[in-house]
Amino acid sequence: MSESPQPYRVLARKYRPQNFSELIGQDAMVTTLGNAIKRDRLAHAFLLTGVRGVGKTSTARLIAKALNCIGPDGQGGPTIAPCGVCEPCVAIAEGRHIDVVEMDAASHTGVDDVREIIEAVRYAAVSARYKVYIIDEVHMLSKNAFNALLKTLEEPPAHVKFLFATTEVNKVPVTVLSRCQRFDLRRIPAEKLAAHFGNVATAEGVQAEPEALALIARAAEGSARDGLSILDQAIAHADMEGSHGVKAAQVREMLGLSDRGAIRRLFGDLLTGDAQTVLRGLRDQHDLGVDPVAILRALLETVHGVTLAKVGSSDDPALSNEEREALADWAGRLSFAALHRLWQLLLKGHDEVVRASMPIEAAEMALLRVIHAAQLPDPGDLIRKLSSGEGVALSSPSAPASAPTHETVQQRFPESFPAMIDLLANGGKAHVAQQLHDYIGLIRYAPPALDIRPAKPMPSEFNRDLGAALKALTGETWEIASPDGPAEPTLLEQDQAREMAARDAILATPIVKAAFDAFPEAELLEYKAAVRG
């Protein structure tokens, strides 16, 4: 009778570290722990923190092994290099050791769950040197559960060790943190992840392009587990496509990343100011299924890459030789000021696209803004020209007397936000003026720029209509925005606050106060401030 095939194990589980030498990117923690074991200075509680997938739970199991390993001959003691073959090592690796208890705090949050641990720690370990409690996502415990654990955590029996793991250490009470030896597990560098994924691919008998591994490492964002899950998917994708090995192009398609060549062309068109070509390139990528946010992110990565190339520190392993040459060329032609402007414009566009209800349209407007800004003079050059007297006068001796000058243009702007509202009210835009007065808080008034914050939901076209009304009255194009930031109260709220202050002042006068003391049920219905002559 043939044996049934073994069920498939995902790579993230199959290649979980079985000893500290396989734990990548955490050398400082391993060294500290090894020294503590050698000198017999072991803490009674350890807290392991870090982003998802860096090896917190795996490290906790390795520590449990290290504390309970007895060696192949059964005579060994605690060691930073557990043998992996003795009964405690094997049982802990398989998750069946009776003295190593794992608990997920996300599903056992209450005080009753912790009380079971408190009761059990009084009894000695059954077969191991130490009874070990591994509590994952410990920050999910309730406040009462933490409080119940504190006394035991501070003075546990000598045979008990606590190992806590969490991704959100800021949610763990300080009283608990102070009773633990803390290890911050670092994000794993992309180059180490790529090398690790290459070893895994080789062990699986799969060929993988170095660029594909670098792309997976970058997408993993420092998490070995996330990267192995992506690699698992990439291998399956390659099998379905009938290709030999994992290709970079397939990984890009699988992750929904923009084609790097298309992004380079789009970036080049942005620099030349070819609006039609830029919009066509953006739409082509969108039609291929690439998210507009991903396109803006890729353009930001390009600007970042050019800037790093300009300072001489571009060493991204995911870059091809062609990309390196392109970045070096742009770095030689673009100033730092231009790169910083590009970064700010694209970053603003990226944030707008993330929040937009129409992402592709928002992306188009963002890229057109980049092109428009690229055609404006450099602020530094403009200041130098103005300082030297160049380009200040907008009229010449032969110009008609009515030609607008810089001064007359400036005089068209109202001197304040309330004055601007009065201008709108007197200029036939009473409805817009009323909305501004009642529902809009001011962030910044710097004509022709205006930053405002609605106090209640406003029509989506409100900023556009306001800009059109102001242009009709001042003759200038206004830039209306609603950025994040503190705003003044609306003018209506300010009027109401002044009214309330005046009312309180009247109520505080001795004669009125005496009247209300005599007649508690009285009300102040109407009042008028006295005019002193």
Of 37, 63, 38, 35, the closest CA to residue 48 belongs to 63
Q: 260-374 maps to which CATH number?
A: 1.20.272.10
For residue 408, what pLDDT is reported?
A: 35
Output the six-digit token pair for 73. 């001959």
Q: Where are the domains of the chain?
A: 11-184, 190-255, 260-374, 411-481, 494-533
User: What pLDDT is stored for residue 259 in this prediction?
Assistant: 66
The Cα 361–Cα 222 span in angstroms is 33
Mean pLDDT of 378-390: 55
**Encoding tokens for residue 187?**
């994000």
More confident residue, 240 or 183: 183
pLDDT of residue 236: 85
User: What's the rounded Cα separation, in Å, for the pair 506 and 526?
Assistant: 11
CB 106 within 8 A of CB 115: no
Residue 51 pLDDT level (bands cut at 50, 70, 90): confident
Give the strand pairing for 449-454 and 440-446: antiparallel
With pLDDT > 70 as the criterion, what percentage of the chain qualifies? 85
| Cα distance between residue 95 and residue 93, in whole Å | 5
Residue 227 phi, psi (nearest 5): -65, -40
pLDDT tens digit sequence for 144-169: 889 888 888 888 888 999 999 998 89
**Level-2 CATH architecture, domain 411-481:** 2-Layer Sandwich (3.30)
pLDDT at residue 12 is higher than 70: yes
- Specify which residues 440 forms β-bridges with: 454
Residue 364 has pLDDT above 90, yes or no: yes
Fold designation for 11-184: Rossmann fold (3.40.50)
Three-state SS across 68-112? HCCCCCCCCCCCCCCCCCCHHHHHHHCCCCCCEEEEECCCCCCHH
Average pLDDT of the chain to the nearest whole number? 82
pLDDT in tens, 273-311: 888 999 999 998 888 778 899 899 989 989 998 999 888
Q: Which residues, in sequence order, are CB contacts of 451 under 8 Å at separation 6+?
A: 442, 443, 444, 445, 481, 482, 483, 485
Residue 385, pLDDT score = 54
pLDDT of residue 106: 82
Decide yes or no: CATH 3.30.70.20 for domain 190-255: no
- What is the predicted pLDDT for the residue at 34? 87
Residue range 327-354: average pLDDT? 89
pLDDT tens profile 431-476: 888 989 999 999 999 888 899 988 888 888 888 889 888 988 888 8
Q: Using CA atoms, how far apart are residues 39 and 161, in angstroms rounded to an integer? A: 17
CA atoms of 188 and 196, how far apart (whole Å): 10
> Mean per-residue pLDDT for 500-527?
70
The letter for the amino acid at 320 is S
Residue 321 in this model has a pLDDT that exceeds 60: yes
**Among 60-74, 189-203, 313-327, 495-509, which stretch is predicted with the lowest mean pLDDT?**
313-327
Per-residue pLDDT, averaged over 88-105, amounts to: 90
Answer with the residue of higher pLDDT: 180 or 259: 180
Asked if the domains 190-255 and 260-374 are classified in one and the same CATH topology, the answer is no
pLDDT at 134: 92
What is the pLDDT averaged over residues 79-89?
90
Please list, in sequence order, all residues whose beta carbon lies within 8 angstroms of the beta carbon of residue 139, skipping any fewer than 6 positions away: 105, 166, 167, 168, 169, 171, 172
Q: Classify each residue of 489-502 as buried b or exposed e, where b means 16 or more C-beta atoms within 10 Å of its C-beta.
A: ebbeeeeeeeeeee
Res. 531 pLDDT band, cuts 50 70 90:
very low
What confidence tier does 522 reach under pLDDT thresholds 50, 70, 90?
low
Distance CA 29, CA 31 (A): 5
pLDDT of 410 over the 50 cut: no
- Percent share of the chain, pLDDT over 90: 18
